[in-house]
Structure 1
């Protein structure tokens, strides 16, 4: 293996170490911000290390056909140490700023949707409620007015029909008398009237 390939492998491993540090800090910060349950952390750690191993192997295979040498681990360690020494604080600040910016954008979108959708719907609901209230009040007023106006006409109509009602009463009274004298019909009417009393007696016995 040539010296250039070795230096290329070390550079690739240093880059992998830097990337591992950035991704690790990022996923830790985002998992805390999103408030994942604590039992999720071991699963996320396992997924992180599996993904990191896959990426390191891909870089190693691209640089020296996958040969594992001591300088490979040296390059990874150098990359991780350099990251924590030079870029750790800046990365943490950057990720926190991204989270705060994301929260600010979501809050703005929430308020925008509330202003564009919720407020107009609520305004239309109040307008419709007000219009229906006025319509109900007007309808009730018109109904009462019609009843008041129709009362004299109804009295006049009843006065005009009084001779006819007296005549009908005179005709129907004998018929009703004959019907009421029917013993079978009277018995049936008495049985019908006694149904509530029988029902109450049955309930008392229960």
Structure 2
């Protein structure tokens, strides 16, 4: 048989695990009220809740009474959960709701700051650079159009001369000499 202080410690840890389970449940309720999820997200939230509850209860049982499951463990869990729901749940829900509103406000503020300080200036700079690039290429196109046309004309004239010379050579005539 365990000493009395170890038994009280085990009972206290199971009651504390029940209170923690109630806190976790209140967090889930506050998040559901704030987000108002559809059926898929609600099921995903339930799955996360039960995963976290299992881990927390497992840790509480391991720390409280070395993983032994006895009747007083169930009594302690239900007592802690009942005490939390009876005494602290409305206050905790109010605190979680306020915390979620504050978090949403902070995220909205950060998003607005990001848009105004980073995104909009970057878009304006890129638009300006695009306009400058379009104007520079148009200016270069106008400047290079004349020399390009002259070079193309020289190329076409030379090509025509070479074809005529090749045609005359194939016909057996001598090509005229360029002076």
Q: Into which bin does the TM-score normalised by the smaller protein fall?
A: 0.5 to 0.7
1:4-29 Cα shifts (integer Å, max 9, x gaps): 33443444344434433443444455
Q: Which residue of 2 aligns with 1:49?
A: 50
Q: Which residue of 2 aligns with 1:124?
A: 129
Alignment of 1:85-164 (within 5 A): 85-115=90-120, 117-140=122-145, 142=146
Instruction: Look up the SS of the partner of 1:67 in the other structure.
Output: coil
In angstroms, what is the RMSD of aligned CA positions? 3.5
1:62-110 Cα shifts (integer Å, max 9, x gaps): 1122333123321232134333133220121112211221232133224
1:158-186 Cα shifts (integer Å, max 9, x gaps): xxxxxxxxxxxxxxxxxxxxxxxxxxxxx
Greater CA deviation, 75-84 or 20-29? 20-29
Question: Unaligned 5+ residue runs, structure 2?
Answer: 151-179
Q: Which residue of 2 aligns with 1:67?
A: 69
Q: How many residues align?
A: 147
Q: Work out the CA distance in 2 between the residues paired with 1:32 and 1:135.
A: 62
On the 8 A contact 1:9/1:72 being kept in 2, the answer is no
Q: Work out the CA distance in 2 between the residues paired with 1:98 and 1:16.
A: 27
Q: Work out the CA distance in 2 between the residues paired with 1:99 and 1:34.
A: 11
Instruction: Report which of the two structures shows the higher radius of gyration computed on alpha carbons.
Output: 1
Q: Work out the CA distance in 2 between the residues paired with 1:57 and 1:120.
A: 56
Q: Work out the CA distance in 2 between the residues paired with 1:58 and 1:26.
A: 19
Q: 1:137 to 1:32 in 2, by over 3 A?
A: farther
**Structure 1 length normalisation: TM-score?**
0.54
Residue 52 of structure 1 and its aligned partner are, at CA, apart by 0.4
Q: Work out the CA distance in 1 between the residues paired with 2:141 and 2:33.
A: 56
Instruction: Look up the SS of the partner of 2:39 in the other structure.
Output: coil
Q: Work out the CA distance in 1 between the residues paired with 2:77 and 2:18.
A: 11
